[in-house]
Chains A and B, each alone.
Chain A
Amino acid sequence: MGIRFILMVNKQGQTRLAQYYEYLTLEERRALEGEIVRKCLARNEQQCSFVEHRNYKIVYRRYASLFFLVGVDNDENELAILEFIHLLVETMDCHFGNVCELDIMFHLEKAHFMLEEMVMNGCIVETSKTNILQPIQLMEKSS
Chain B
Amino acid sequence: MEQLKTIGRELAMGSQGGFGQSKEFLELVKSIGEARSKAEEDRIVLHEIETLKRRISEPDIPKRKMKEFIIRLVYIEMLGHDASFGYIHAVKMTHDDTLLLKRTGYLAVTLFLNDDHDLIILIVNTIQKDLKSDNYLIVCAALNAVCRLINDETIPAVLPQVVDLLGHQKEAVRKKAIMALHRFYHKSPSSVSHLFPNFRKRLCDNDPGVMGATLCPLFDLITVDVNSYKDLVLSFVSILKQVAERRLPKGYDYHQMPAPFIQIRLLKILALLGSGDKLASEKMYTVVGDIFRKCDSTSNIGNAVLYECICCVSSIYPNPKLLEAAADVISRFLKSDSHNLKYMGIDALGRLIKISPEIAEQHQLAVIDCLEDPDDTLKRKTFELLYKMTKSSNVEVIVDRMIDYMISINDNHYKTYIASRCVELAEQFAPSNHWFIQTMNKVFEHAGDLVNIKVAHNLMRLIAEGFGEDDDAADSQLRSSAVESYLHIIGEPKLPSVFLQVICWVFGEYGTADGKYSASYITGKLCDVAEAYSNDETVKAYAVTALMKIYAFEIASGRKVDMLPECQSLVEELSASHSTDLQQRAYELQAVVSLDAHAVESIMPLDASCEDIEIDKNLSFLNSYVQQSLENGARPYIPESQRSGVLDISNFRSQDQPEASMHGLRFEAYELPKAPVTSRIPPASVAPSTELVPVPEPSYSRETHQVASVPSISDAGSTELRLRLDGVQRKWGKPTYSSPTSSTSNASQSTSNGVTQVDSAANVNSKARHTHDSRKPQAEITPEKQKLAASLFGGPSKTEKRPTSASHKVAKASSHAAEKSQAPKAAVVSNQATLDKINHQPPPDLLDLGEPTVTNSAPSVDPFQQLEGLLDPTQVTSTVNHGAVATEAPDIMALYVGTPAGGQSSSAENSLPSNSYDVNLTSELSNLTSGTTNAGATLTQFTKGPNPKDALEKDALVRQMGVTPTSQNPNLFSDLLG
A residues neighboring B (CB under 8 Å): 1, 10-15, 17-19, 23, 26, 29-30, 33, 43, 45-52, 54, 62-66, 77-80, 82-84, 86-87, 89-90, 92-94, 96-102, 105-109, 112-113, 116, 120-121, 123-131, 135, 138-140, 142-143
CB distance from B17 to the nearest CB of A (A): 9
Q: Is B976 within 8 A of A93, CB to CB?
A: yes
User: Contacts A83-B301, A113-B103, A113-B107 known; A126 to B78 CB distance under 8 Å?
Assistant: no
Q: Is B339 within 8 A of A89, CB to CB?
A: no
Q: Cα distance A1–B32 when bound, in Å?
A: 33
**Residues of A contacting B898 in the complex (Cβ-Cβ under 8 angstroms):** 94, 129
Q: Which stretch in B156-164, B360-368, B945-953 binds the other chain? A: B945-953
Q: Is B261 within 8 A of A45, CB to CB?
A: no
Q: Is A92 within 8 A of B976, CB to CB?
A: yes
User: Contacts A78-B340, A131-B209 known; A13 to B300 CB distance under 8 Å?
Assistant: no
Q: Cα distance A79–B304 when bound, in Å?
A: 5
Q: Is B340 within 8 A of A127, CB to CB?
A: no
Indicate if B549 sits at the interface (CB-CB under 8 A). Answer: no
B residues neighboring A (CB under 8 Å): 19, 21, 26, 29, 32-33, 35-38, 41, 71, 74-75, 77-82, 98-100, 103-104, 107, 111, 114-115, 137, 140, 144, 147, 172, 175-176, 179, 182-183, 186, 209, 212-213, 216, 249, 251-252, 254-255, 259-262, 264, 300-301, 303-305, 307-308, 311, 339-340, 342-344, 375, 377-378, 380, 413-414, 847-850, 870, 873, 895, 898-899, 924, 944-948, 950-951, 954, 958, 963, 971-978
Q: Is B971 within 8 A of A90, CB to CB?
A: no
Q: Cα distance A18–B79 when bound, in Å?
A: 9
Sample of 7 further A-B pairs with CB below 8 A, known A80-B304, A82-B340? A30-B80, A79-B303, A79-B340, A92-B976, A98-B977, A99-B945, A116-B107
User: Contacts A11-B971, A52-B380, A64-B849 known; A102 to B958 CB distance under 8 Å?
Assistant: yes
CB distance from B121 to the nearest CB of A (A): 17
CB distance from A11 to the nearest CB of B (A): 6
Q: Cα distance A102–B974 when bound, in Å?
A: 9
**Residues of A contacting B340 in the complex (Cβ-Cβ under 8 angstroms):** 48-50, 78-79, 82
CB distance from A39 to the nearest CB of B (A): 10
Q: Is A138 within 8 A of B137, CB to CB?
A: yes
User: Contacts A77-B307, A123-B179, A127-B261 known; A98 to B948 CB distance under 8 Å?
Assistant: yes
Q: Cα distance A139–B262 when bound, in Å?
A: 27
**Residues of B contacting A83 in the complex (Cβ-Cβ under 8 angstroms):** 254-255, 260, 300-301, 304
Q: Is A50 within 8 A of B895, CB to CB?
A: no
User: Which one of B144, B414, B947, B971 contacts A10 once the chains associate, using CB atoms below 8 Å?
Assistant: B971
Q: Cα distance A5–B98 when bound, in Å?
A: 29
Q: Is A13 within 8 A of B38, CB to CB?
A: yes
Q: Cα distance A139–B106 when bound, in Å?
A: 14
User: Contacts A48-B339, A79-B303, A125-B175 known; A65 to B848 CB distance under 8 Å?
Assistant: yes
Q: Cα distance A100–B300 when bound, in Å?
A: 23
Main secondary structure of the interface of B (DSSP, over half): helix
CB distance from B26 to the nearest CB of A (A): 7
**Residues of A contacting B37 in the complex (Cβ-Cβ under 8 angstroms):** 12
User: Contacts A63-B847, A125-B175 known; A108 to B75 CB distance under 8 Å?
Assistant: yes
Q: Is B254 within 8 A of A87, CB to CB?
A: yes
**Residues of B contacting A125 in the complex (Cβ-Cβ under 8 angstroms):** 175, 179, 209, 212-213, 216
Q: Is A105 within 8 A of B344, CB to CB?
A: no
Q: Cα distance A112–B975 when bound, in Å?
A: 19
Could you name 22 residue pairs across A and B whose Cβ atoms are closer than 8 Å? Answer: A15-B79, A15-B80, A30-B80, A47-B375, A47-B378, A48-B375, A64-B847, A65-B847, A65-B974, A78-B343, A82-B300, A87-B254, A90-B977, A98-B975, A98-B977, A99-B976, A101-B33, A101-B976, A121-B216, A125-B212, A138-B137, A143-B100
Interface centre among A1, A80, A124 (most CB of B within 10 A): A80
User: Which one of A109, A123, A138 contacts B107 once the chains associate, using CB atoms below 8 Å?
Assistant: A109
Chain B residue at minimal CB-CB distance from A81: B304
User: Contacts A49-B340, A66-B976, A124-B261 known; A98 to B254 CB distance under 8 Å?
Assistant: no
User: Which one of B29, B99, B978 contacts A64 once the chains associate, using CB atoms below 8 Å?
Assistant: B978
User: Contacts A79-B303, A84-B261 known; A52 to B974 CB distance under 8 Å?
Assistant: no
User: Which one of A66, A135, A143 contacts B140 once the chains associate, using CB atoms below 8 Å?
Assistant: A135
Q: Is A90 within 8 A of B895, CB to CB?
A: yes
User: Which one of A49, A64, A123 contacts B971 once the chains associate, using CB atoms below 8 Å?
Assistant: A64
| Top 5 closest pairs, chain A to chain B, by CB | A65-B971, A64-B974, A79-B304, A128-B251, A63-B976
Q: Cα distance A113–B137 when bound, in Å?
A: 12
Q: Is B259 within 8 A of A127, CB to CB?
A: yes
Chain B residue at minimal CB-CB distance from A68: B976
Chain B residue at minimal CB-CB distance from A62: B847
Chain B residue at minimal CB-CB distance from A98: B951
Q: Is B115 within 8 A of A23, CB to CB?
A: yes
**Residues of A contacting B176 in the complex (Cβ-Cβ under 8 angstroms):** 120
Q: Is B974 within 8 A of A101, CB to CB?
A: yes
Chain A residue at minimal CB-CB distance from B140: A135
Q: Is A93 within 8 A of B977, CB to CB?
A: yes
**Residues of A contacting B172 in the complex (Cβ-Cβ under 8 angstroms):** 131, 135
Q: Is B948 within 8 A of A121, CB to CB?
A: no
User: Contacts A23-B114, A127-B252, A135-B137 known; A63 to B978 CB distance under 8 Å?
Assistant: yes
Q: Cα distance A78–B342 when bound, in Å?
A: 12
Chain B residue at minimal CB-CB distance from A89: B976
Interface centre among A18, A98, A102 (most CB of B within 10 A): A98
Q: Is B977 within 8 A of A99, CB to CB?
A: yes
Q: Cα distance A134–B107 when bound, in Å?
A: 18
Q: Cα distance A77–B254 when bound, in Å?
A: 16
Interface centre among A43, A120, A124 (most CB of B within 10 A): A120
Q: Is A143 within 8 A of B304, CB to CB?
A: no
CB distance from A54 to the nearest CB of B (A): 6
Q: Is B252 within 8 A of A128, CB to CB?
A: yes
CB distance from A94 to the nearest CB of B (A): 7
Q: Is B950 within 8 A of A48, CB to CB?
A: no
Q: Is B261 within 8 A of A107, CB to CB?
A: no
Q: Is A97 within 8 A of B32, CB to CB?
A: no
**Residues of A contacting B75 in the complex (Cβ-Cβ under 8 angstroms):** 108
Q: Cα distance A86–B873 when bound, in Å?
A: 13
